[in-house]
A and B are shown apart, each in its own frame.
Chain A
């Protein structure tokens, strides 16, 4: 039995090594889609609906067609002949319904920003000039903007053929909720609102499609998280054999779940390349990004919790309402977020009496779908908000209250009332570590002392669980061609370098660095002898891509297994060459050594030389297999859950309602840590996005469905000056589902940060009997809670 990768000599696992691609990116030499220029390439700009809901009566494009540089103007009807519509439903989301969605609106537009006419020209500027000349006669239709009234009988139905505006409903009722409430010493309730917001990627959505009619080959350069998924979708809706479609995804400037969906304007771009038989590029600009990139988090959850005076949670009941825009997004659907809210409320705690209803409704706003930490920050805010309220109601310290309710560290595997099984979590170790890290008691004393001086600081805690390493239960079982498995191929080159190609993708988080570390450790070569290939459907093994915190856990295990298999193959050849038993040999730092003494036996490049150029010197039955592929899928659980806690320390200016973040702490358990720095920066970045939702980010809409702040001046992303220091510590409970033991970490920061901030604000406001529950916690909302304004 060889050593586990974790304790192999010269293992890179657990070490902060620089990212191989960092230098290139820092030098500005990355290759983003917009950097690629092809011969005969043209650009597309879209005329978009100015209305939230309107019928297209007539389109006049003569003037636009005659404008300088214009190649072609295409309407929805023409586009529909080339690109078939799609419907965003999944088989296992029972009852989920949606209407066919087209690449370009055909008869009517259903949200402000929907693409209506495509204008193709020699430059983007010319396309925009011509787009301004396209005249559309509109007939404005009723607008369903408010999700609260979307199901009322007097509200018109957006898609009459669906019968109503209900996309999906989930109802869950486990244990005895009535009994829990009847036995309660205290019942707390609140309506929690999370503001509609979006993931603002540094690189906007980008796509360049190149179609070769001679052999019906389509190459799509795409800023995406899931190249193989997109390959299927392009092939299906453009009527091409799947093997003729190649999706290449070079550098991606952030994705956060935004770039894992089917976007009408991107489908139109690819269809245009097929129609025009030449390369067509579309780079979303910032303003169209705001009205077309998926939004998320627009939820209103009415919730209550029953507790005993000993501080036990006796029951939780919640009602979630969310508006997802006019269509369920394809192919992952817009039911997942609400479904996750149902699955995650109460998640860290032992309570088994749980009832939750989620209603997902259509409305005439931009679509909503999965954004980093799908559903988590919503469920966490609800749960942790109630927990703090309950602790306050019975006069118990919130840390102590959590201690009494968190699932015990030795209770695993543990089945939650939702039916989800947790493999192994470490809530109590994490809580202890957090309180120590933040010096909880000292902080409480400081808070009390400052309160005397009229300075109002708050401490907020939030426990969370995170869905990572998904099995095929997430999408595959629902009929979506989204792969839960991933493959890795590693080849030993004659120079002793290993070339690793893998289905998971890099969007800036350091996937390639992690895969290189695992491959280097597993095979036994130094980092500078590893070359990575990702993001090309024609080259890499088939895989799902990077989303749902699966890159390290799924892709990493495939890489580990491929590396081990290659090492075994190499050692078998080496054994023959050196007349030694393979198990007495090892590969360390790129050198074949005697496993016991570490003495050098042969360099890898020497083995490569012989294997590739002088195989005649090897025995007849020795055929070196120096390229191997291994696949991995997590099959033991629906998801491998992780856990952690966050804490926020902040100050509320009770005169102005301004919140100043002072400190933030995270204790997280993602199992095996491959690269500590990358893990910590994933958490920090995630926390910042969570803080954005908590304090700043919101897609503001008017009553008639117009987005009011679709630009970077008015949509407030979190910026460095407002961010606190974020201290991070870890508890390590490796998953037993893989040899690597790594769980995901990409969404943990975002999951818990808003709840921690909310609880801290409410802690600060508690002397005033005031509290907030609607994110973002703007100065105006805080002032209103304090009764300073109406």
Chain B
């Protein structure tokens, strides 16, 4: 669970409202590389992360991203407080104002609403960690773009803090990737997905899946009749490495048919 602390991770105190700038910065709330997407990405991925260092990293970075979302919302809120209708028109804020007044709503700078399609949770730690490292760099670029749009020191100070955190998160996910790869077969990292294949092995051995196993056995027997090379695909996960190449050599990639029967 989570509890709330009545403070921001880093102070936000903006003297001069600026709705036009708020419209750009809101992208780091609900945009494609924003803090909401970042938090949901890591907090979704952690359930299938097989290694404890990775679980802790995803949990703590995902939690910190929630604190960053709060800082971004505080910046947008302070940049849009006490507006007059004239200011709203002059700053190009009318389109946002008509739907949300001065409330916070997760959208990209261009108006696209927040979407879960902004992130992936793929269930393969190598894939997920690469996604996360790319995401941290994309967020860093967004902050660099925001920094070029303003010279207000009250805005630049917390934005620079947030930019710095993307670099630290990138570093930590890079270390997590190394930890994951160190535990896999260095000759072929992709032969075994530790987020799935351990579970598959446990399921195959578990008592409560007996019925499923018997059905499965029937299926396999059927397959055996029409496919004499079945042995090639029946190896356990430990041998996936050799199987991986074995399968490529023995089967046609397009049809799945054993090559020697293939004309």
To the question of whether A and B form a pair in one complex, the answer is: no
